[in-house]
Structures are given as C-alpha cells and as structure tokens.
Structure 1
C-alpha cells in the first residue's frame, strides 16, 4: 500500500461504474433466461397433453361408448398383381359391435387409371 500512488477520484468513479455495469448485466442475463425456461416448460406441457389426447382418441376399446361401431374381420386385402381394367372382387365381414343400428350405404366403386 505504501508503494502505490493514491487513487484519484476519477479512477474511483470509473471503478464504481464498472462494478455497476457488471451488476446490471447479471439481472439482464436472468431476464433473458427466464422467458426461455417458461417457453420450454409450456412446450413440454403441450406435448404431454397432446400425446395423452391422441392416446385416448386412438383407443378403440373405450368402455361406455354409445352409437354404432364397425368391426371388420381384416384391415388389408392383398389381391396380388392384376391385369389393368380387370374386375376383381374381395369379400370381408362387417360386424356392428355398438349399441345402436349401423346403416351402410351403397358401396362405392373405385376407378383406377393406368399408371397409378
């Protein structure tokens, strides 16, 4: 201490300003960090709610479901390679497993175009 020259008032002010700037930068960094955390938490919550909703909607064995429910004996029919413009037929069983009447309309005929 004896060998150091005395600190001038301007140097002391500069040092105080530096300390004040570093003190202000820390809350500024927190102000940037907190919204990111909030956005992340909200995004994770939305993802979990979406997954839970999709699982409930895709569950076909919901107990207490009312109305007609269609059950088909197979979901896919593979007829192999066929000649274009040849009539093909497929049979499958449709069953109503619901608690009300199931109404079926006239079947739709699919038209195929060559190259599809």
Structure 2
C-alpha cells in the first residue's frame, strides 16, 4: 500500500482584505507545495483584519487545525506559510502557534525550506526530539 503524499494547509494572515503581496505569498506557497515537493494542497486559510493581529483569536487558523487533525493519522500534514512571520512576528507567539499545529499531529514549513518537523516532539511537549 502506498502512502499518500503529504497534505499542505496553506496559511496566511493579512490586515487588509486583499493585497498584491498576499496574492504573491499564496501563489508562492502553492508553487512550493505542488511543483517543488509534489504535496497535495488541502486549501488556503487566511485570517484578516484584527484576527490577523491577535494570535489568541485566529478563526481561520483554528479551522485549519480542525481539518488537519482529521487527516494527521492518515498522512503527513503540514501548515505551509511563506515565512515564519506569517504565523506571528513575535517569536513566543509564533512558537505557541507552532505548538498548536504539533498538538494535532502536523508540523510547519516555509517556502524558504525551513521546517519545525525535527522539533515536533519538543513542540508537543514530550521534549525527546
């Protein structure tokens, strides 16, 4: 039985309702997932406006996690962002969001070939990475 390809959940946050920069980042994520790695894309989630600024209230990110959790036991699941700042600029806030991804069985990656996959055990609190 062959393992299905990893499933990428593209995430971004944007203060404005739209911007050319947002479109560029999303296009970069899609290209990175499909063409560079052959990952299947589950969809795109974007927190906008005030939700983009508040790491404790990110409804789209929370929705992404709900779906990611249902797939994590079947295949590798990845929260794909253009850069780490797309999660949060503050390092502590970003780590907290990465921990939420790890707790549902996924890991985070950027289009610059950065990943927290190796730190997964630490992020979920086991500390044995």
Higher relative contact order (CA 8 A, sep 6+): 2
TM-score by length of 1: 0.20
TM-score by length of 2: 0.19
